[in-house]
Amino acid sequence: MAAPKGGTRERILDAAERLFAEHGFEGASTRDIVGKSGDTIGSVNYHFGSKGELLGEVIRRRWDVIYAARREAYETAKTQSEGPPSIEAVVACIVIPYLERAMTGTKGWRSYALLQARILYSPKAYDEMLRVLSEPTAREFLGWMQAALPHARLEDIGYGYQFMVGSMVECCAEMGLGRIDRLTDGVCSSKNYEAISKRLVRFIASGISAICEPDDAA
């Protein structure tokens, strides 16, 4: 039988990404993963050490790509504005690199988006696998938002960031459900990246701006 195509490490990462996304960390065994990749359990142990470390590498592989794209977008936005980029520009820098890949990229990117949703809503998995990556970058993104809205309270910026992440993850998860397609009798499409992306950025930026307005009752 011919050897599977591609490098062993990448094959295992691809297989693990898909199975973790479909079945969760507990539901995807190492045996299932190597069965899909065409490799051996010994290969997993050699390249990753354990199933937990394999999940960490699955997440980091695409996380680093998205983070680099976000930083590049923000640096570009800074060169195009006289002062700090606007809140809409900041939202676009954070949301678009993720949304574009999750909605229009390869099956691997769509699996990654589903896996991210699983981990975000699982406290144990988040603490073990995602917290060390996500929280330092989230603090950086909060700083971008504060620079765009310098008079806003951190409380409002923080909630705005939380709402932004939830909206972004929901749009990507919705692709596999088609719920909005049915609710609107096909007028909306959960897979229409162009329609969703431009509306989502405006929606999030407007919402953050609104909650950061001074409280007249104060």
Show the domain range for 10: 1-49
Max mean pLDDT range (6-20, 34-48, 149-163)? 149-163
Whether the per-residue pLDDT at 210 is higher than 50: the answer is yes
Q: What is the CATH number of the domain that holds 15?
A: 1.10.10.60
Name the domain count of the chain: 2
Confidence of residue 1 (pLDDT cuts 50, 70, 90): very low
The predicted pLDDT at position 217 comes to 44
pTM of the model: 0.86
The answer as to whether 217 is a domain residue is no
Comparing 83-87, 94-98, 172-176, which segment has the lowest mean pLDDT? 172-176
Q: Is residue 218 part of a domain?
A: no
Indicate whether 123 and 163 sit together in one domain: yes
User: Is the domain of 87 the same as that of 32?
Assistant: no
- In this structure, the answer to whether residues 45 and 113 fall within a common structural domain is no
Tell me what the pLDDT averaged over the chain comes to.
89
Distance CA 82, CA 11 (A): 46
Separation of alpha carbons 3 and 72, rounded Å: 39
**Nearest to residue 161, comparing CAs of 180, 181, 145, 184?**
145
